[in-house]
Amino acid sequence: KIGIIKSGQIRAKNEDVDSLILESIDQDIDKDTIVATQDLHLKKELLRRGHNVIILRQKKYVEMVR
């Protein structure tokens, strides 16, 4: 199953996007979910919480980090 959260589907007041992603993934998504991000702090926090992360390497390679 593949799902994409589109821009505008998450609404919050005075919260940063990273917090919204972390809250959403912890509440609504199982541990098999993979998040794609280039944000270093978000990547580290997702990995710390046990989620898989997809990152872009050298602008042309996709890598999954566990």
What pLDDT, in 10s, does the model give residues 11-39? 666 567 788 788 877 776 666 778 888 88
pLDDT at 42 over 70: yes
Does residue 52 contact residue 33 with C-beta atoms inside 8 Å?
yes
d(CA 38, CA 35): 10
Over residues 1-15, mean pLDDT: 60
Over residues 48-62, mean pLDDT: 87
Query: How much is the pTM?
Result: 0.70
What pLDDT shows up at residue 6? 61
The DSSP letter of residue 53 is E
11: Cα separation from own chain's centroid: 16
Q: What rounded mean pLDDT belongs to the chain?
A: 78
